[in-house]
Structures are given as C-alpha cells and as structure tokens.
Amino acid sequence: MSAAETAGQPPENKMGYLPIPKLLMTISLPMMASMLVLSLYNIVDSVFVGMVSENALAAVSLAFPMQILVIAVGTGTGVGVNAVLSRALGERNFRRANKAAMNGILLALFSSALFVVIGLTCVKPFFASQTANADPEIYVYGVQYLSTLCVFSAAVFIQTIFERLLQSTGKAFFTMITQTTGAVINIILDPFFIFGIGFFPRLEVLGAAVATVCGQVIAAGLALFFNLRFNTELTLRLRELKPDRALIGAIYRVGFPSIIMSAVGSVMNYGMNLILMGFSSTAAVVFGVYYKLQSFIFMPVFGLNGGVVPIVAYNYGAGRRRRIYATLKLSVIVAECLMAVGVFLFMVFPEPLLKLFSASDALLVMGVPALRIISTHFLIAGVCIIIGSVFQGLGNGVYSLIVSVMRQLVVLLPAAFLLARFFGLAALWWAFPLAELMSFAVSSVCFFRIKRKILDHIPDKA
C-alpha cells in the first residue's frame, strides 16, 4: 500500500508516474479521436448545408466568427479550470481541486446566460454588417442559424466544462464518448431537419442549428453522468456551487488569455469576411470551406494539446521537470506528423475536397489555389500549438495570447487587406504563411523566456 493510501488519501494520479509516451497517448488519443469526429461533423454539417444552396453555405460561413466566440468562452474557461485543478491534484490538494471544479460549473452557467442575451440582441446587426451588398437570403439564413445556437448555448458550455473535469483527472476516454455521441447525433439529424425527411419539417439552414443543439444537449447529459459516476477524484456537491473570488481569479489568469486568444480568432474571421465580401460571397465561402476542411487536421492537434496541458500542469505541481520536457518533445513529433498529412491532402486533392461542398465552377477556380497556398503554413502551426499548450500548463497563458494577437491581428489581417488591395484576391491567401512565420518567431522568444524563468527552476523529483 502506498504512503498516500496509508494516510487515507487517494494514490497518486497516473500523470505523475506513467511513462510519457503511454501517458500522452492514453490521455490524448481519446481526445484526438473525439476531435476528429467533431471535425468530420463540421464538414458533414456544411456538406448538407451546401446542398441547399451556395447562399446557405455563405450564411453558415459568415456565422462562424460568433461561433468561435462561444467556443472561446467555453474552452478558455475550461483551460483555466483544467490547469488549476490538475496542479491542485499534483500538489495533493483535493479540497482546492473540488472547489475549482464547482467554480468552473458556475462560470459555465454564467457564460450561457451571457450568450442568450447576445443571441437575442446582437445577431441581426452582426449579420447586417456583413451582408449589406449581398443577397438578402444570406442574411435571413444567417440570423436563423446563429440566433438558435446562441440562445441554446447552455448545452455546449455545460458539455465543455464537464469534459474538462474528466480530462483534468486523466479520464479523457469518457470525453471521446460524449463528443462522439453528440457529433453522431448531429450528423444523423442534419438531413432530417434540413431537408424535411419523413414527418420532420424542412428547416434548411435553421435545421442545421436545431440538429447541432440536440447533439449538444445529449453530450452534456452524458458528460454530467460520467463525472458523477466515474470521476472519483472529485466530489461534486450542489451546495458548494458558490463563487470563490480567489479561485475564479486563478482560473481566469490562465483561462482569460485563452478566451481572448480565441476571441482574436473571431475578430480575424470577421475582418476576413468583410474583406472577402468586398470581392464576392463566393470568396467568403472559399474561406469558410477552408476553415471546415482545416479543422480535420487541426482538431486532432488541439486534442493532443488538451492532453499536454494537464500533464504539464500536474508535473509542474509535482516538481518533475524531465517529464515536462519529454511531453513537449513527443507532442511536437505527433503534431508534425498530423500536419504533414494535412499538407499532403490540401496540395494533392484540393478539387475533390471542395466538391464535397457542392462547389460551383467559380468556387473551384478560387478555392483550389487558395487551399494549396494556405496549407504551406501547417507544419509551422503544429509546433506553435504545442508550445502554446506548454505555456498554458505552466500557468502562463498570456504568452499564448501575445502570439495569437501578433499572428492574427498584427500580421494576418493587415497583410490580407494589403495583398488583396494591391495584388488581388489570389495574393490574399499568402497572408496565412506570412503570419505563421511571425507566430513561430514570437513563440520561440516566449518559450526561451519561460524556460529561463520557470522551467529551469522546477525541481526534478523522482
């Protein structure tokens, strides 16, 4: 019997002793698989919408910046909870871990209330600003789609926070079940609600939103059940659902930079849509389709990232420096292999990928060179994503924020605007590799700074 068990405490979490290759794969593979399913759901969702019309696909593409914002608040809060909770477990502070979990749930409920208000008040002006000179049908489709997702956003926030609690204690397998179940239900319901099969009404783009909400509700219920039934390292009690200012501050010190970092992506997408709509709605659709397709490559890497954060945070708290470095090295190798697959697909098969979305001839002419150009930055992006996860695991999410702001707002948007204005639409896509090169440079500077200030001072316990 271990000393911890003798003292009446649970034995040490596996993040402190399992070999890093086995540990990283144990935690990350289920998350990578579930994220891959989620990316497939995003693609299939848009495939069905594309069958309605190009206007329908344009509406979903223009809604994406607000969807990013919803995801940003949910996942950013989850990242903060994940880091605080995992570090508390590494320090054997189980009371703090429980309180962090309950405050995370409370923050998820507050976030959902915020987006109900946004859905009721901000969606119409949001779409009006992007579609002033476009087909009015795009505006109607977009408002229907996005209002539904915002008003019923509680499901996605609850799902996200309970999945993060499972990840924080090394039970990522259950998150694969919840995310996969939600995505599969969404895919199954999409054609019924979009096209009105059987007794289902034909809702077109609104039907895609309804199917999404149904999948999220069921996934949230499963995530709650798995925590109550299997997450024995945490004790969730309704009477403890009360705010703790110190813990909320600790959560957002890590999570808020992540929220802002993703929100920067929302601003970038919105700005890019404005630039592209100046050419045509087809140009905006190319950008939207690219984002759907690149998620097939990036989402598994983000799943890997979700495994890196708790491992780094736990071993930071436990004082095991070598395990942090081993995690970093292995995760970079895995991320680069995944990104290499993405480069191959985008370079060799751009036309078949675009035809998945019922692409018109005009969409193919614009989209094929765009996919090839943009994919040149994938390998650099893989390294930057993993370095960012180390920043978060060490409680320095602000470095990730700096990198994101520099890449998307300081370089990408201005470069896209200038390239489009002086050299035309075809040149705009080169802004992506240019921005990623800058991201790598800034990430490297931040990493060596955090190495000098934190990593080099972590004791290397057995």
Residue at 351 is within a domain = yes
Residue at 10 is within a domain = no
Q: According to the model, what pLDDT value does residue 462 have?
A: 55
Q: According to the model, what pLDDT value does residue 5 have?
A: 45
User: Is 28 within 8 Å of 385 (Cβ atoms)?
Assistant: no
Q: According to the model, what pLDDT value does residue 137 have?
A: 93
User: Is 264 within 8 Å of 409 (Cβ atoms)?
Assistant: yes
Among 53, 260, 77, 71, which residue's Cα sits nearest to residue 141? 53
Q: According to the model, what pLDDT value does residue 189 have?
A: 94
Residue at 4 is within a domain = no
Q: According to the model, what pLDDT value does residue 457 have?
A: 79
Q: Give residue-wise pLDDT tens across range 310-366.
A: 888 888 877 888 888 888 999 999 999 999 999 999 999 999 999 999 888 999 999
Q: Give residue-wise pLDDT tens across range 394-451.
A: 877 778 878 888 899 999 999 999 999 999 999 999 999 999 999 999 999 999 998 8
Q: What percent of the chain has pLDDT over 70?
A: 95
Q: How far apart are CA 60 and CA 149, in angstroms?
A: 12
The helix-helix angle for 413-423 and 245-277 (nearest 10°) equals 0
Residue at 3 is within a domain = no
Q: Tell me the DSSP string of 302-356.
A: HHHHHHHHHHHHHHHHHTBHHHHHHHHHHHHHHHHHHHHHHHHHHHH-HHHHHHT
Residue at 6 is within a domain = no
The residue segments making up the domain with residue 343 are: 15-457
Q: According to the model, what pLDDT value does residue 21 have?
A: 84
Residue at 5 is within a domain = no
Q: According to the model, what pLDDT value does residue 169 have?
A: 81
- DSSP H/E element including 92: none
Q: According to the model, what pLDDT value does residue 1 have?
A: 40
Tell whether pTM > 0.75.
yes
Positive or negative torsion for Cα 168, 219, 105, 146 = positive
User: Is 363 within 8 Å of 354 (Cβ atoms)?
Assistant: yes
Q: According to the model, what pLDDT value does residue 172 have?
A: 74
Residue at 347 is within a domain = yes
- Residue ranges of the chain whose pLDDT lies below 70: 1-17, 34, 38, 461-462
Among 225, 215, 177, which residue's Cα sits nearest to residue 193? 215
What total of structural domains would you count in the chain? 1
Residue at 352 is within a domain = yes
